[in-house]
């Protein structure tokens, strides 16, 4: 398909995933925009190309939509089968779930749905892409987590997250994703595959638009740490959890 360094970003048609794709493409990578809707993927690719082609740093970028629903094994297998090369996998697609009920009132089905995308989806996509990544000279995996996945933050009385309302779907899915990141890093260290989790920070996207908060951080701001981890040199860390400021406590 391509001889160029190639990245796959899941959930790339909008928000932080779109900006991760922009950042990696600007660095010269071929970027596959994993999108569950073909039309939204095509539209995102067109927008990315147009944006890159304007302004003082105008460039031609190589971005290509690819249908990929992280909860649908058939689309994952078809996507993997269509590729001949993959160097960077960014597991970005994520959902918050329909409710933020406390654990005692949380519907099991909500937890299942959120885990299906945020954890099982990452496992399925990663495992499907590993044969390609193992053939890369510098393979990198970045799992887009969240600060709310940090148990240290929730249990630190001095951290603002300890005062957030308790809930049992999204935060625990990101804690599980952090754990999955560590387990993959342990397994894949011998293969030279660096695997890290990133906390983009609260960014103004569709994901946060209904929250009663004023968020000034942009999706591009949130994408920066992910692009950094996706482009680590050979001595870069593996099995870590990072935000803009450095390591995040687990």
Ligand X SMILES: NC(=O)c1ccc[n+]([C@@H]2O[C@H](COP(=O)([O-])OP(=O)(O)OC[C@H]3O[C@@H](n4cnc5c(N)ncnc54)[C@H](OP(=O)(O)O)[C@@H]3O)[C@@H](O)[C@H]2O)c1
Which x/- pattern over 138-157 shows residues binding ligand X (rule: CB under 6 A)? ------x-x-----------
Residue from 17, 23, 65, 171 touching ligand X (CB under 6 A): that is 17
17 and 11 Cβ atoms separated by less than 8 Å: yes
Residue 101 backbone phi and psi in degrees, to 5: -65, 155
Task: Identify which range of 7-15, 22-30, 80-88, 126-134 contacts ligand X by CB under 6 A.
Answer: 7-15
Choice between 200 and 240, CB closer to ligand X: 200
CB of 229 to ligand X, least distance (A): 13
Residue from 15, 65, 139, 240 touching ligand X (CB under 6 A): that is 15
Length of the chain: 250
Tell me the angle at which helices 108-115 and 170-188 cross, rounded to the nearest 10 degrees. 40
* Residue whose tokens read 């939509």: 65
Residue 194 backbone phi and psi in degrees, to 5: -85, 125
Catalytic residue IDs: 170, 174
CB of 68 to ligand X, least distance (A): 6
16 and 222 Cβ atoms separated by less than 8 Å: yes
99 and 111 Cβ atoms separated by less than 8 Å: no
Task: Identify which range of 126-134, 152-160, 206-214, 229-237 contacts ligand X by CB under 6 A.
Answer: 206-214
d(CA 94, CA 92): 6
The contact set with ligand X (CB under 6 A) reads 10-11, 13-17, 36-37, 40, 69-71, 92-95, 117, 121, 144, 146, 200, 202-203, 205-208, 219
């Amino acid at each position: 398909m391509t001889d160029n360094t190639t990245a796959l970003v899941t959930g790339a048609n909008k928000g932080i995933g779109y900006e991760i794709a922009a950042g990696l493409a600007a660095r010269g990578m071929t970027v596959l925009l994993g999108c569950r809707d073909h039309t939204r993927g095509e539209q995102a690719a067109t927008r990315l190309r147009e944006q890159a082609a304007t302004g003082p740093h105008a460039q031609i970028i190589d971005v290509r939509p690819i249908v990929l629903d992280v909860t649908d094994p058939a689309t994952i297998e078809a996507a993997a089968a269509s590729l001949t090369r993959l160097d960077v996998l960014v597991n970005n697609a994520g959902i918050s779930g329909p409710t933020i009920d406390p654990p005692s009132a949380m519907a099991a089905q909500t937890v299942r749905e959120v885990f299906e995308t945020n954890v099982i989806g990452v496992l399925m996509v990663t495992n499907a892409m590993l044969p390609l990544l193992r053939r890369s000279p510098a393979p990198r995996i970045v799992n887009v987590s969240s600060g709310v996945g940090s148990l240290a933050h929730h249990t630190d009385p001095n951290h603002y997250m300890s005062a957030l309302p308790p809930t049992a779907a999204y935060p625990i899915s990101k804690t599980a994703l952090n754990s999955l990141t560590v387990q993959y890093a342990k397994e894949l260290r011998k293969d030279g595959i660096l695997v890290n989790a990133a906390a983009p920070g609260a960014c103004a996207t569709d994901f946060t638009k209904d929250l009663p908060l004023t968020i000034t951080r942009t999706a591009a701001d949130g994408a920066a740490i992910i692009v950094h981890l996706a482009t680590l040199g050979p001595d870069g860390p593996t099995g870590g959890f990072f935000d803009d400021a450095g390591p995040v406590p687990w």
